[in-house]
Structure 1
Amino acid sequence: MIPWVQLDTAKTPDGDHELRLKQRGTEFSIMLGSNELMNSRLSGSEEALARLSCQRIAGRPQAKILIGGLGMGFTLRAALAELGANAGIVVAELVPAVVAWAHGPMAAVFGGCLDDPRVTVREQDVGQIIRSEASAWDAILLDVDNGPEGIVHEANDALYSIAGLISARAALKPSGVLAVWSQGPDSGFARRLKQAGFAVEEVKVRANGKRGARHVIWIATNGPRPAATGAKL
Structure 2
Amino acid sequence: MPPLFEELDSQDSPLGEISLRRRQIPAFGDRDIYEVKLGEEFLMSSMFVEAEEALSTLGLEQVNGEDLSVVVGGLGLGYTAVAALKDERISELLVVDALDTVISWHQKELVPLGKTLNADTRNRYVLGSFFDLATDPSNGFDPSAAGKKFDAILLDIDHSPTEYLNPENAGFYTTENLSRMAEQLKPSGVFAMWSQNPPEADFEALLATVFNRVDSHLVSFYNPFQGKDSTNSVYVCIK
Equivalent of 2:77, from 54, 63, 72?
A: 72
**What pairs with 1:15-94 in structure 2 (closer than 5 Å)?**
15=15, 17-25=16-24, 26-58=32-64, 60-84=65-89, 87-94=91-98
In 2, Cα distance between the equivalents of 1:203 and 1:115?
Answer: 31
RMSD: 2.4
Instruction: Mark the CA change 1:38 to 1:198 in structure 2 (over 3 Å): closer, same or farther.
Output: farther
Q: Which residue in 2 is equivalent to 1:227?
A: none
> Number of paired residues?
217
Higher helix share: 1
Say whether the 8 Å CA contact 1:64–1:88 is kept in structure 2.
yes
Contact 1:12/1:152, CA 8 A, preserved across alignment: no
What's 1:4 paired with? 5
Aligned mates of 2:184, 2:220 — CA distance in 1: 29
- Name the % identity: 26
Q: Give the corresponding residue for 2:153.
A: 140
Find the partner of 2:203 among 176, 189, 201.
189
Equivalent of residue 168 in structure 1, options 161, 178, 181: 181
Are residues 126 and 193 of structure 1, via their aligned partners in 2, closer, same or farther at CA, if it must alter by over 3 Å? same
> What do residues 134-180 of structure 1 show as CA deviations (whole Å, max 9, x unaligned)?
56011000001212246323332233222221112111111111001
**Cα distance in structure 1, aligned partners of 2:186 and 2:148:** 4
Question: Residue type of the partner of 1:116?
Answer: D
**Larger mean Cα displacement after TM superposition, 187-196 or 60-69:** 187-196
Q: Which amino acid aligns with 1:171?
A: Q
**Structure 2, unpaired ranges of 5+:** 25-31, 141-146
Q: Unpaired runs of 5+ in structure 1?
A: 223-233
1:189: how far off? Answer: 1.6
Cα shift at 1:20: 2.2
Is the Cα contact below 8 Å between 2:77 and 2:111 reproduced in 1? no
| Counterpart AA for 2:204 | A
Residues in 2 aligned to 1:122 and 1:129: alpha-carbon distance in whole angstroms: 10
Code of the aligned partner of 1:54: L
